[in-house]
Chain A
Amino acid sequence: MKIRQSIYLLALVLVLLPPLSCKKFLEQTDTSNVAADALFKKPEDAIQLVNALYNTFDPFGNYDIMKFSFYYINNYLTLDQINYGGDRNWATFQFDANHQAFEGLWNQFYKGISSANAALPIIAKMRDENILDQSLADRLTGETYFLRGLFYYYLASTFGGVPLELQTVTDNGLHPRNTQDEVFASVESDMTTAAGLLPTKENTEDGRATKGAALGYLGAAQMWLKKYAEAVNTFNQIPNTYHLLPKYIDIHEYRNGSSEESIFEVKFLIPSGATRSWGRSNDANWLQSFNMPEEITGLGFESASPNLYASFENGDTRKLATIIGPGDQHPSPRIEIKDYSRVKQGFANGDPRYVGTNGQIINTAGTVAKPWIGSDPSELRSGYFNVKTWRDPLVVNGNDSLFGDQGVPMLRLGEVLVSKAEAQFKSGDVAGATATIQLVRDRAWGKLENPSVVVPPPVETDVMKIILDEYRHEINGENSLWFDLRRTGELIQYIKDKHGFQIPAGRDLMPIPASALSTNPTLVQNPGY
């Protein structure tokens, strides 16, 4: 019977055992994530926290903000580029508030803002705990302020006023919109702080925020606030290490680092051997194959406006560095149209689209007789192509090499000079404005390369009209034309003048995304929608 008693005793113990031993039992683990309290003990943690803020620009999920939000808005709405994919209705401003261009920008940039707001106190605390030394803490703090300011700069440029969140949102986030001026005032403040903390470009890694970039966007924000004199002053403080590249074509050449002219660029990187097809990492963009001719890639969703082609003055080297049409060779020394496999194959098959005027394999973007207008007969393309995004020789077709990693310039000296000219003009310095414009035009005609070039006077005589034309020709096919035109206050009239198109009332502001309205009923939609 002793066995029985022993077993009962053990049984009793077993009943009690789980509760006693389970004191710390209800703990879970996940090896792919790390809890906040285990982090931020070493400088690398803070650096990585700030690194992730830059990732805001990368296409993620369904949002490809470089293409949809920046490229679409600044190019399709200015009517110099035309979509031939599923978004043809942008040419008539018939987009709606559900379009991912708006949702992507809104969601991605508020994600970035929230991460920036969260990073500031963490960096400050790590500085207080001497985990970060002062210079690293300053740099990281400056980058964070710069990026938060940058996100608000583009949100307000796109939507007008947006809710201003400058601290981690701990309530339900149902905050109404601030005014556009309030947002740009916040940008001004952030950029001022950033400019005081950030190193110059020589003293930091390529791709990171710099003092020059902070000043560039500070001036731009001041122009939105109509503080033109301050803006001129700010632009003048930009370090003199930035130079206009002598050859305009070089600005958008495929390269690994930023050019001397580049002030802020979004960076991409496809490691050697990694895929350029679907399944790529998010450090790649598909601006190039999206815009290239279908005749080369089998894809292609846009073409450029012949109107833009015709608008360049004679001798302006920016023309063929921006847009090519039937019979034009590609301007980049790295790109030979005849080398593309589909061109070679088509020529071998006797496809007339790939036969040049001399009967040899074609080396131009179609010919005048047979322009490259795509295979969808229901809506033929213009035959003109944006070549600023078409520079990477590795993007060759629409299947396994359709993504590229060319950096996308967001702000460069050429644009800053035009802006500065506008600010000078609006603050009363017409002579200064004219001189600044002349710098831009000199480079455009190749005078920096060859001092003997004679640069003709602008077609327009009205200084503001000259400035508007320079915006159009200097930054066409890039990512700020629409924003800068709206900032001038001349946008609607200008589009009407140049394209004969009346922008529907209120549609100079983009719609607050439908998803944002539905999750935050305190947001009021822009009147045009």
Chain B
Amino acid sequence: MHLRALFVPPKAGLTKALLIMKFTATILLAACLQVSATGNSQTISLSENNASLEKIFREVKRQTSYDFWYESKLLKQAKKVDIHVTNVSLEQVLKICFENQLLTYSIAEKTIIVKPRATPPEEIVTPPSPPPPIDISGKITDEEGRPLVGASVKVKGTQTGTTTDANGNFTLQVPDGGGVLVVSYVGYQTIEMAVSKNTSSLTMVLKQAESNVEEVVVVGYGTQKRKDLTGSVSSIGATMIEKVPVATLDQAIQGRAAGVNVTNNDAAPGASVFIQIRGIGSLGSNTPLYVVDGYPITGGLNAINPSDIATIDILKDASATAIYGNRASNGVVIITTKRGKKNGVEVALDALVSFQSQPEMYDVLNAQEWTSLVIERAPIDNIQVLPEWNNPSSLHSIDWQDEVYRTGLKQNYNLAIRGGSEKVQSAFSIGYFDQDGVVLGSDFKRFNLSLNLDYNPFKWLRSSSSVKYARGSGKTHIGTGGQVGDSEEKGILDLSFLPPTMTGNKLTDQVKDGKGNYGFYPPANVHFFLYNYGNPVYDAETDDIKNESDVFLGTTSLEFTILDGLKFKTNFGISTNGKSGYLFKPSDTRSLDQYGDPGIQRAQSTYSQYANNSFEWLWENTISYTKTFGVHSIDFVGGVSAQENTYRQMGVKGFGSISDVLRDVGSIQDVTDLIGNQQTYSFASQFARINYKLMDRYLITGTVRRDGSSKFAPENQYGVFPSGSIAWRVKEESFLKDVQAIADLKIRASYGEVGNQGGIGLFQYLAQYSTGGPQISFSNYGYPFGGVYQSGLQLAALPNPDLKWETSKMTDIGFDIAFLRGALTVTVDYYRKESKDFLLNIPVPTQTGFTTAAKNVGSIRNTGVEFAIDYRKAKKDFTYGINLNFTTLDNELLSLTDNLTSLSGLQLSSDGEGLGFPANSSWRQYSLTKIGRPVGEFYGYKAAGIFQTQGEIDALNAAAEALYGPGATYQSGAVPGDRKFIDINGDGQITGDDRVSLGRPIPKIFGGLNVDATYKAFDFNIFFYGVSGNRILNYQRASLESFGGLSNISRDYYLNRWTPNKTGGNRYTRVTNEDNNDNNRPSDVYAEDGSYLRLRNIQVGYTLPANLLSRFAITRLRIYVSAQNLFTITGYSGLDPEIGLPQQYDGATRYGPAGFGELPRSVGSSGVDVGNYPLSRFYTFGLNVTF
């Protein structure tokens, strides 16, 4: 206790106290550890005269934290005791206590059970004794038959009780007259069962508490019982997450929670999914806030191993989210990881292997069909025909999809050891995930470590720590979308339209021959069109790519119970996030060697390297107070929070290494890009929440957070986000209390305001000057004078000192009702979210000197109804549960800015560049967000079939000439066989003004259906996910119907194309290399119904009989097989209707981390099929073992 000297007695005064304050938290922690060491000793010192056993027991309990269980009347008969001991063992103390008593004791775990002495000492006259108690023994298991270790079994109304042993068994003495056993276990529903002399061996099954009103829900800075919730919170438990093998936790959310729309829009290994909670809440950032074990993270979702997750709680309305203030408007996802249990040890081993089938492919032409088409069109389109094409049978036919697609393999192994004692609980886990994707050159590996440690040295002190580390490594060489910019990199989109034969390489016409030669297309001086097509297999196999991430998340907290119900907690967390990698493309001179023309191939190698890292800390202090006064209960939490993030990036890119084996940045001959800088931003907040409960039936919650963000000018940094909600537990009212039909009914209503400060970068409020980069950079602001470069300084962006956070006003009205004794529960919520002041870089008049500026603009309203129904039925051998949830979503843009209200005012469409749309293509605009319409609506022309005759075109042109004079046309460039578009505005010409809405990309309704069942040792899960009411703009199909540049086309188009000899069709145009009519422009031809219903998962498990396993010390062994994405019911003609917001890329950088090529997902670019990384079927074999 020498450290006590550090703590100055209170009388020393405030000055010294403040001095102490300067000691860092490290010292505090050190002190605590010392204190703990003392408290942990199991020796007891006591000095009492004539003390009651109860008093001594209290003191023993305080010193050792052992509990005593006894019947109080038993102790009243006990003799008083004199005891004077110093540092003696518990046993010695108990020996003194029980000497000459009519009592004895036993110790089970950390509980000392006091019971009457079986054989009373002889010298004592036997009083008329009560009938001897009866022994009841039994076993406690969970629903899946797993023994529950350390469950509490008590006789109701007494102190008599025990806990179950390692096999879930217990033996308990019950008074002869019988009694009621109360069995409880954390996380499970408490059950009561009457027992009597006649009761033989019992098996009691505890149900997990999650679907019950007793369920505990994690809300911001605390927990609440679901029955006391006034806000809208969806919860997903570990058992649900385990049902579907997923790689990342966000995938686990899909279809499980009403109001949450999860789209697996990019199935590349390690790719993230797109999550929207209650619609599009912003034209800028729509990412929800993730809080992991109390830490609001800014990235690194990948650090969390899905199998470590205990619960995911999704806070949806303002009542629930307002405590997270200016980061809450897109909802808050709270992730709680599994912690050690108080008694016993559990070792769990989970393993799975998934085989992924080769993706479906588009049916495109083979070399012979394609060349026949080229030769057919050559005289009309002036196509240069290569001599070898005149001998089609000699051509080697390539199906690029088949060359690149393959079967995939996914493996996942997790080992966890969780357990502990009354004072210390720990949960350790290690996980390994490895996936080889179904597209050549794509893989992802992840290694997770996690340790959760809880320590209760004293009744009044509890420490909790969580440490998580993850290392990820992966690449996706051929990813979603098409060729990016001028680069030679290919995307999935390109695979279907690369010409099906290659004769550029004189050594081989194969994709790759046995000698390591790769084929290529002829260079520019041999063929004008083919030269810009590359061999994606060559790139995937010869490029050297590495992308790695290191994520560390550590939090540690101390919670002090100052008085009963009054707690203080300090929580400190650190999060680091490192991303690094490189891309080396070796030089390629084959085409240059053979033709003197490098074509698209690179004569020089290229090399880029980057390393980005962020360090973030969080410090939060909260005080909570819970108290019940008669019929009133209050529950208060309040606190302060500070968070600071420092992000550093470095990157270099260049051409020309001396040698292809030399991978050294220093030896790059032409450095073209060089970045390296650091940014810091911070948050500071104060918050409070109070729950008031009257008579257990009237509930009121008030929440407020004052949140400060450094992103805004000092006078705009702080926002206040209040919310209030009420709930009425109608079931508790006398008129409903006895109505058997309704097991529970609660009505809720909430309103509040929350904010969003994502969407823009730092310093948008301030005038900042920049040099634009070094001389070598494309963006430098300097200029050469006298043959010498001189740097320049320019305003980096138009400052907007008035910038502030986005605000969402949320209303939620809902009810929870339960029927059939709680077996059927229904939750319905109506929600309305009006969001405004989106932080966007929007176009501004160029006269300001800038084309865009960060502004607060616009408002959107999202309304809808969430519906969740859950039914559970348990029979002797057969239990099942059905969960159905769906959400409707109506979304409307209410306003833009004061002066940009017209249709063409603010075109929030993406320009499509990042999706791989060709430059100057009409696909650069395919969506339009306009007032009164859903966000991101598709925008294009309406088609009216095909022009069958020249006469038809001439008549329209004549009408146009009458209006506009000689040379005017109805539809410029049209010839028979071209698509005719409708003159919407009736001006006699087809122009950009004839474009109309082609439907919304956002589903009107989405939801999931889960069926779980167990029959004897078998368990089943079926999980469907579906969306309806949205449209998909099928760019992939438009590209399959384009022969421009001699690209390959679909066989369907080939067989049904319009020709002068085969007229009449109204769907397919003529095939042409020179499409002056722009037949494939965005039009309703490519806007398709995007509704689908997908069998996401089907699983069958079998748990081996326990008696078989016990000899191997295995408590449970379950094997299962499952299949994911077995079928999809959809009318969509593309390969996969699950399309959200594709990731976009800028320039030539498809690879690399955010900020070095990736563009933010824009809500104006959702629902367009640009050739997604395919999501094919998984067949999974798995094993769960518990020791």
Give residues in A with beta carbon < 8 Å to B. 2-15, 17-19, 22, 25-36, 39, 45, 47-49, 51-55, 58, 60, 86, 106-107, 110-111, 113-115, 117-118, 163, 165, 169, 172-175, 205-208, 256-257, 267-269, 271, 273-275, 277-283, 294-295, 298-299, 341-342, 344-346, 348-349, 374-379, 397-400, 515-516, 518-521
Contacts and interface: CB of A to CB of B under 8 A. Distances in A.
B770 interface: yes
Interface residues of B, number: 125
A33 B850 contact: no
B780 A281 contact: yes
Interface of B: 4, 7-10, 17-18, 20-21, 25, 28, 31-32, 35, 381-384, 460-461, 486, 523-528, 560, 562, 568, 570, 595-599, 602-604, 619, 621, 623, 639-642, 644, 653-656, 669-673, 675, 677-684, 686, 708-711, 714, 717, 762-763, 766-772, 775-796, 843-851, 898-900, 902, 904-907, 919-920, 1073-1074, 1148
Contacts of B595: 345, 349
A22 B525 contact: no
Contact of A400 (B7, B604, B787): B604
Contact of B845 (A15, A172, A294, A398): A172
B2 to A, nearest CB: 12
B793 A378 contact: no
7 contacts: A11-B562, A26-B710, A39-B769, A257-B786, A516-B846, A519-B843, A520-B846
Contact of A273 (B10, B669, B919, B1074): B669
Contact of B684 (A22, A257, A397): A22
A519 B682 contact: no
A33 B781 CA distance: 13
B105 to A, nearest CB: 29
B784 A269 contact: yes
A5 B12 CA distance: 13
Contacts of B762: 28, 30
B769 A34 contact: yes
Nearest to A346: B596
A267 B844 contact: no
A282 B684 CA distance: 41
A9 B12 CA distance: 13
B7 A51 contact: no
A518 B905 contact: yes
Contact of A280 (B32, B679, B778): B778
A128 B762 CA distance: 33
10 tightest Cβ-Cβ pairs between the two chains A and B: A114-B849, A345-B596, A52-B792, A279-B672, A378-B382, A6-B7, A269-B784, A275-B670, A173-B845, A32-B677
Nearest to A162: B847
A26 B849 contact: no
A515 B778 contact: no
Contacts of A106: 846
B784 A207 contact: yes
A294 B599 CA distance: 12
Contacts of A163: 847
B618 to A, nearest CB: 11
A32 B796 CA distance: 10
Given A3-B7, A13-B21, A283-B780, A342 B525 contact: yes
Contact of B794 (A27, A115, A295): A115
B789 A283 contact: yes
B387 to A, nearest CB: 14
B964 to A, nearest CB: 11
Contacts of A379: 382
A257 to B, nearest CB: 7
A298 B597 contact: yes
Contacts of B850: 111, 114
A244 to B, nearest CB: 23
A14 B25 CA distance: 9
Given A257-B786, A279-B653, A45 B778 contact: no
Contacts of A376: 382, 384, 528
B793 A31 contact: no
A207 B768 contact: no
B120 to A, nearest CB: 41
Contacts of A55: 772, 780-783, 792, 794
A241 B844 CA distance: 44
Contacts of A279: 653-655, 670, 672-673, 778
Given A3-B35, A54-B785, 17 more contacts: A2-B9, A7-B32, A13-B20, A22-B684, A33-B763, A45-B793, A49-B793, A51-B790, A55-B782, A60-B778, A267-B783, A279-B654, A279-B672, A281-B777, A282-B778, A298-B599, A342-B596
Given A22-B642, A22-B684, A519-B845, A282 B710 contact: no
Contact of A118 (B639, B653, B780, B795): B795
Contacts of A172: 844-845, 898-899
Contacts of A118: 795, 849
Given A283-B784, A521-B902, A27 B845 contact: no
A400 B568 CA distance: 66
Contacts of A111: 846, 849-850
Nearest to A163: B847
Contacts of A39: 769, 793
B568 A15 contact: yes
Contacts of B785: 51, 54, 205-208, 267
B768 A35 contact: yes
A25 B779 contact: no
Contacts of B708: 26
Contact of A51 (B383, B621, B782, B898): B782
Contacts of A207: 783-786
Nearest to A12: B568
B365 to A, nearest CB: 21
B763 A30 contact: yes
B783 A30 contact: no
A36 B778 contact: no
Nearest to B902: A521
A101 to B, nearest CB: 12
A27 B682 contact: yes
Contacts of B768: 30, 33-36
Given A107-B851, A114-B848, A298 B778 contact: no
Contacts of B560: 7-8, 11
Nearest to A96: B992
Given A26-B682, A113-B849, A518 B843 contact: yes
B21 A17 contact: yes
Contacts of B669: 273
A8 B900 CA distance: 57
Contacts of A374: 528
A36 B799 CA distance: 11
A172 B783 CA distance: 30
A36 B767 contact: yes
B787 A48 contact: no
Nearest to B991: A96
Contacts of A45: 793
Contacts of B900: 519
A257 B31 CA distance: 74
